[in-house]
């Protein structure tokens, strides 16, 4: 081994604590890249492979009842490759031995051959061969412990029919399987049932007709004209506006997940890499300063400038190797944990592909680039140093008086305090960067710790303020309002409240959104509209109330006139004024007063949903047993269970996230504070030893050493709060999609907690360095010149 290489490794060994402190910061950045970029890529690729092999459609449309004869016309639309029509319907399922009903989405299978599009993948058993058989989606089977041969009963438009499960399957349409009105998958109470077409045709009067169509298009075919053509063809038959993959529910959830991973990838790694650059820069700067005479010597014996510059770059590269290595390990582990989480929430037929090797390579290059960028300045300084100059001691740092002196006089500051302040002013860039580094640590904590508060607000608003019902009973088509009275008479029922849902297109100028419009009962108590401040909002009888994100998407404000084109009933179009905008976290809500909606539909009062509260859990069981037999009931949502599962899942995820971010914040703080204090100690060792000789105690000397870093740590807090607020804001905006929004809720406790963690980590780091004060060689100071 060359002497230079030996020196490299020994230097690194000597600097190992500092090296590790920086490497950990770098590792955090690398790990986040591996996890976020890697998993978003992996999800994307897994999804593409699945969609490709199972022919996931490009366009999805539905109608009330369209004749099969339309099929050939649909096929003739320009650019269309394949068309598949189906009958689909929701139905209440009765699972033997269980009081709780489940909701099923029944899907017809072609009478001959295999489906062309959205091909379900058989996982177990066989496809149904007669009307009494069904295949269910795998998660539903697993959650209920079904095996082929088990029987469940299906409420087919009021007639209960027993069907035998012959197998399980997965479908690209249901990667994220979520029932009507649910917020997250509840596989126990929502399932997909593939049945022979004849069953559905008979059960729902759909012989010779279909109500769902899926299409694929030829490559490079623009989707809009195809959607328009489909819409035109289906329009006479009660079509809803066709949607692309972006609005297909399961795919939209996958998009949202990928989007949030990408937000992470854009927000966090640059912070960690930036801090790495700064730390390497600070530490390498000091090393080159300390090794002046060695550099001079190396040059004197014939090393080239290039070799010397490279030597210091290599020292930084060792930090990169360490950081990248740790980052790969932690990142892979995180990615694996994410894969497990995805396996739980997303139903892919195969494991989510691992992190692509290219991401490992990319992250390593970024890591090396960060340390090299940090070391470049020092390496070039070392390379450029003339040997004769290098061998002579450096000139003492040049301090000048400043206006600060008068202030210091005024405040009667002691000399140690003056030393701290002058050092800050002497190296303002370094002080500024140190401050910024610690501020970023605070901001990472603020920006991550606001999630629990935000979630609490979401849960509170969604589950305790807006939706206060125990259960929702879904009717499709709408039932006359007498249903309300029938439900009210059921045992254990305390309150009932009607609600209507209608698919509609909202249009304002060039902007258009397809959303469900819902009604709000007069003096609503169970399903209310509540804004961000917890205030109950009642829709004006003469206008429409919009959620803020919907209003933003449509570019409308209060007072603007919106075109509302219903896709159900008489499919009429209305011009209505926007009479209110309300902050909401889930979905894109649009509301009319219940009576207003009835009169717009020119119908006797009807209900799509009956909201129910029950007297007690015992009543709930009897109630649930009873509703299995209600004809025309197509689904139920158990809000009590929804609340519990949502809260559990979230609090679990939040605990993990808060811990992870807490660690990241501490890594940054320790990396910055420890290195800043070490460089301080190195620069001031002589000065501090001299003070010890002059009779200063260890504590007084430690004050000077710790003072600067801790002062910066304190000053960093408000800066960190502001940055954290900004980052939190950016993140909430980044995470916001049509599906949900995350409110920016920042409690004083969040700031306080972030500051406590960072200040604590700073104090510990500085204390570790201050311990070295005991090892100062007082005698050497008198004998040597720096």
Partner 1 sequence: MARLDDRTREVVFRTEGLTKTYDTGEVQVHALAGVDLELYGSELTVLLGPSGSGKSTLLNILGGLDRPSGGRFWFREKELTNASDRQLTRYRRDHVGFVFQFYNLVPSLNARENVQLVTDVAKRPMKPAEALDLVGLSHRMDHFPAQMSGGEQQRVAIARAIAKRPDVLLCDEPTGALDSHTGTQVLATLQRINDEFGTTTAVITHNAAIRLMAHRVIRFQDGRIDRIEENDSRLAATEIHW
Cα of 583 vs its chain's centroid, Å: 20
CA-atom Rg of the chain in angstroms: 33
Q: Report the nearest approach of partner 1 to the CB of residue 9 (Å).
A: 22
List Cβ neighbours of 694 (8 Å cut-off, separation of 6 or more): none
**Window 249-288: residues binding partner 1 (CB under 8 A):** none
Query: Does the footprint of partner 1 cover residue 686 (CB under 8 A)?
Result: yes
What does 464-480 look like in DSSP terms, one character per residue? IIIB--SEEEEEEEEEE
Query: Does the footprint of partner 1 cover residue 775 (CB under 8 A)?
Result: no
Q: Report the nearest approach of partner 1 to the CB of residue 27 (Å).
A: 35
Which residue in 609, 664, 292, 315 sits closest to 472, CA to CA? Answer: 609
Length of the chain: 786
Pick 112 or 411: Cβ nearer partner 1 = 411
List Cβ neighbours of 113 (8 Å cut-off, separation of 6 or more): none
Q: What is the 3-state secondary structure (H, E, C) of 306-333?
A: HHHHHHHHHHHHHHHHHHHHHHHHHHHH
- Which of 300, 558, 615, 778 contacts partner 1 by CB under 8 A? 778
Query: Does the footprint of partner 1 cover residue 782 (CB under 8 A)?
Result: yes
Pick 687 or 747: Cβ nearer partner 1 = 687
Residue 244 β-bridge partners: 59
- Which of 69, 72, 694, 748 contacts partner 1 by CB under 8 A? 694
Pick 425 or 558: Cβ nearer partner 1 = 425
Pick 2 or 783: Cβ nearer partner 1 = 783
Residue 715 β-bridge partners: none
- Which of 130, 415, 573, 652 contacts partner 1 by CB under 8 A? 415
What tokens appear for 642 in the block? 């929804």
Residue 578 β-bridge partners: 544
Pick 691 or 766: Cβ nearer partner 1 = 691
What tokens appear for 741 in the block? 């929004």
498: left (phi over 0), alpha (psi -120 to 50) or beta: beta
Query: Does the footprint of partner 1 cover residue 130 (CB under 8 A)?
Result: no
What are the contacts of 509-515 at 24+ separation with CB within 8 A?
509/555, 511/553, 511/554, 511/555, 511/556, 512/554, 513/550, 513/553, 513/554, 513/588, 514/240, 514/241, 514/243, 514/247, 514/567, 515/550, 515/587, 515/588, 515/589, 515/590
Segment near partner 1 (CB under 8 A); pick from 259-267, 281-289, 303-311, 395-403:
395-403
- Which of 693, 749, 756, 767 contacts partner 1 by CB under 8 A? 693
Query: Does the footprint of partner 1 cover residue 49 (CB under 8 A)?
Result: no
Q: Report the nearest approach of partner 1 to the CB of residue 405 (Å).
A: 8
**What are the start-end ranges of the H helices in 545-638?**
548-554, 594-600, 617-627
Residues in contact with partner 1, shown as a per-residue x/- string from 80 to 119 under the rule CB under 8 A: ----------------------------------------
Cis link prior to 477 (omega < 30° from 0)? yes
Pick 625 or 687: Cβ nearer partner 1 = 687
- Which of 24, 35, 521, 781 contacts partner 1 by CB under 8 A? 781
List Cβ neighbours of 369 (8 Å cut-off, separation of 6 or more): none
Q: How far are the Cα atoms of 105, 466, 483, 701, 784 from residue 500, in angstroms, in the given order?
A: 20, 16, 13, 74, 88
Query: Does the footprint of partner 1 cover residue 783 (CB under 8 A)?
Result: yes
- Which of 131, 341, 503, 690 contacts partner 1 by CB under 8 A? 690
What tokens appear for 779 in the block? 């005698």
Q: Report the nearest approach of partner 1 to the CB of residue 748 (Å).
A: 38
**Window 699-758: residues binding partner 1 (CB under 8 A):** 700
Pick 536 or 693: Cβ nearer partner 1 = 693
Pick 656 or 780: Cβ nearer partner 1 = 780
Query: Does the footprint of partner 1 cover residue 1 (CB under 8 A)?
Result: no
Query: Does the footprint of partner 1 cover residue 394 (CB under 8 A)?
Result: no
**Window 538-597: residues binding partner 1 (CB under 8 A):** none
Query: Does the footprint of partner 1 cover residue 523 (CB under 8 A)?
Result: no
Pick 690 or 719: Cβ nearer partner 1 = 690
Q: Report the nearest approach of partner 1 to the CB of residue 677 (Å).
A: 17
744: left (phi over 0), alpha (psi -120 to 50) or beta: beta
Query: Does the footprint of partner 1 cover residue 771 (CB under 8 A)?
Result: no
Query: Does the footprint of partner 1 cover residue 602 (CB under 8 A)?
Result: no
Pick 107 or 781: Cβ nearer partner 1 = 781
Residues in contact with partner 1, shown as a per-residue x/- string from 627 to 666 under the rule CB under 8 A: ----------------------------------------
- Which of 162, 205, 697, 718 contacts partner 1 by CB under 8 A? 697
- Which of 400, 489, 602, 775 contacts partner 1 by CB under 8 A? 400
Query: Does the footprint of partner 1 cover residue 419 (CB under 8 A)?
Result: yes
Interatomic CA distance for residues 597 and 605, integer angstroms: 9
Check if the beta carbon of residue 446 is closer than 8 Å to that of residue 757. no
Pick 626 or 696: Cβ nearer partner 1 = 696
654 HSE (CA, 13 A, CB side)? 15
**CB atoms closer than 10 angstroms to residue 303:** 17
Which residue in 443, 449, 446, 430 sits closest to 672, CA to CA? Answer: 430
Pick 634 or 680: Cβ nearer partner 1 = 680
Pick 201 or 683: Cβ nearer partner 1 = 683
What tokens appear for 440 in the block? 């970023």
- Which of 241, 423, 443, 680 contacts partner 1 by CB under 8 A? 423
Interatomic CA distance for residues 65 and 59, integer angstroms: 18
- Which of 16, 399, 464, 542 contacts partner 1 by CB under 8 A? 399
Q: Which residue has the tokens 């002059």?
A: 694
Query: Does the footprint of partner 1 cover residue 692 (CB under 8 A)?
Result: yes
Query: Does the footprint of partner 1 cover residue 2 (CB under 8 A)?
Result: no
8-state DSSP, 594: H
Query: Does the footprint of partner 1 cover residue 357 (CB under 8 A)?
Result: no
Which residue in 586, 590, 589 sits closest to 576, CA to CA? Answer: 590
Query: Does the footprint of partner 1 cover residue 696 (CB under 8 A)?
Result: yes
| Binding-residue total with partner 1 (CB under 8 A) | 34
Query: Does the footprint of partner 1 cover residue 386 (CB under 8 A)?
Result: no
Interatomic CA distance for residues 203 and 277, integer angstroms: 68
Residues in contact with partner 1, shown as a per-residue x/- string from 424 to 443 under the rule CB under 8 A: --x-----------------
Question: CA angle 139-143-149, nearest 5°?
Answer: 85
Query: Does the footprint of partner 1 cover residue 292 (CB under 8 A)?
Result: no
Q: Which residues bind partner 1 (CB under 8 A)?
A: 395-401, 414-416, 418-419, 422-423, 426, 686-687, 690-698, 700, 778-779, 781-785
């Amino acid at each position: 081994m060359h002497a230079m290489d030996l020196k490299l490794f020994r230097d690194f060994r000597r600097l190992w604590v500092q090296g590790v402190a920086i490497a950990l910061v770098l590792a955090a950045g690398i790990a986040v890249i591996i996890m976020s970029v890697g998993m978003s890529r992996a999800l994307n690729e897994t999804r593409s492979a699945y969609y490709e092999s199972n022919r996931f459609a490009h366009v999805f449309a539905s109608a009330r009842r369209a004749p099969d004869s339309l099929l050939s016309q649909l096929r003739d639309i320009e650019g269309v490759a394949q068309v598949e029509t189906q009958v689909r319907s929701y139905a209440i399922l009765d699972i033997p031995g269980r009081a709780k009903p489940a909701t099923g989405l029944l899907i017809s299978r072609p009478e001959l051959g295999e489906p062309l599009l959205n091909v379900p993948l058989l996982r177990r058993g066989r496809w149904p061969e007669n009307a009494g058989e069904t295949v269910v989606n795998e998660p539903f089977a697993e959650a209920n412990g079904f095996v082929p041969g088990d029987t469940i009963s299906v409420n087919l438009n009021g007639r209960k029919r027993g069907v035998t499960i012959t197998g399980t399957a997965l479908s690209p349409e249901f990667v994220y399987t979520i029932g009507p009105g649910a917020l997250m998958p509840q596989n126990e109470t929502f399932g997909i049932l593939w049945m022979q077409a004849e069953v559905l045709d008979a059960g729902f009067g759909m012989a010779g007709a279909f109500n769902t169509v899926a299409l694929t298009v030829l490559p490079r075919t623009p989707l809009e004209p195809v959607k328009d053509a489909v819409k035109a063809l289906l329009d006479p038959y009660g079509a809803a506006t066709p949607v692309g993959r972006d609005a297909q529910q399961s795919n939209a959830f996958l998009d949202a997940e990928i989007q949030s991973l990408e937000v992470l990838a854009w927000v966090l790694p640059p912070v960690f890499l930036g801090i790495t650059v700064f730390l390497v820069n600070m530490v390498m700067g000091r090393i080159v300063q300390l090794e002046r005479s060695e550099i001079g010597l190396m040059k004197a014996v014939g090393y080239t400038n290039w070799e010397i510059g490279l030597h210091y770059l290599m020292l930084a590269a060792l930090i990169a190797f360490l950081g990248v290595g740790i980052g790969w390990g932690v990142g892979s582990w995180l990615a694996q944990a994410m894969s497990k989480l995805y396996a739980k929430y997303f139903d892919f037929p195969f494991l989510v592909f691992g992190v692509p090797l290219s991401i490992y390579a990319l992250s390593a290059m970024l890591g090396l680039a960060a340390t090299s960028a940090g070391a470049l300045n020092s390496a070039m300084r070392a390379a450029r140093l003339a040997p004769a100059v290098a061998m002579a001691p450096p000139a003492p740092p040049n301090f000048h008086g400043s206006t600060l002196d008068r202030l210091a006089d005024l405040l009667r500051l002691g000399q140690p305090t003056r030393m701290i302040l002058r050092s800050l002013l002497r190296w303002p860039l370094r002080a500024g960067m140190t401050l910024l580094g610690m501020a970023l640590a605070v901001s990472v904590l603020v920006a991550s710790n606001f999630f629990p508060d935000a979630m609490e607000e979401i849960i509170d608003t969604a589950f305790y303020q807006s939706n206060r019902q125990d259960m929702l009973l879904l009717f499709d088509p709408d039932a006359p309002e007498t249903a309300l009275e029938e439900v009210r008479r059921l045992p254990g029922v305390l309150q009932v409240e009607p609600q209507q849902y209608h698919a509609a297109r909202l249009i304002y100028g060039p902007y258009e959104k397809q959303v469900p419009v819902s009604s709000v009962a007069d003096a609503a108590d169970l399903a209310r509209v509540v804004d961000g401040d917890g205030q109950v909002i009642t829709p004006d009888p003469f206008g429409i109330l919009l959620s803020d994100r919907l209003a933003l998407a449509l570019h409308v404000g209060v007072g603007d006139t919106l075109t509302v084109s219903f896709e159900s009933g008489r499919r009429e179009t209305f011009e209505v004024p926007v009479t209110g905008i309300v902050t909401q976290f889930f979905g894109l809500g649009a509301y009319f007063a219940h009576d207003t909606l009835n009169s717009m539909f020119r119908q006797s009062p009807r209900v799509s949903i009956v909201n129910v509260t029950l007297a007690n859990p015992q009543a709930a069981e009897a109630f649930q047993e009873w509703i299995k037999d209600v004809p025309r009931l197509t689904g139920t949502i158990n809000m009590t269970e929804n609340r519990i599962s949502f809260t559990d899942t979230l609090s679990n995820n939040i605990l993990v996230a808060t811990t992870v971010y807490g660690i990241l914040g501490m890594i940054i703080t320790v990396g910055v504070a420890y290195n800043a204090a070490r460089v301080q100690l190195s620069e001031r060792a002589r000065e501090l030893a001299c003070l010890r000789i002059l009779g200063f105690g260890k504590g007084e000397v430690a004050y000077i050493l710790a003072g600067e870093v801790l002062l910066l740590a304190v000053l960093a807090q408000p800066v960190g709060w502001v940055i954290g607020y900004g980052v939190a804001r950016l993140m909430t905006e980044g995470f916001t999609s049509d599906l949900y929004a995350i409110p920016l809720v920042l409690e004083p406790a969040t700031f306080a907690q972030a500051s406590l963690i960072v200040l604590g980590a700073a104090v510990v780091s500085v204390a570790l360095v201050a311990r070295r004060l005991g090892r100062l060689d007082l005698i050497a100071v008198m004998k040597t010149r720096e």
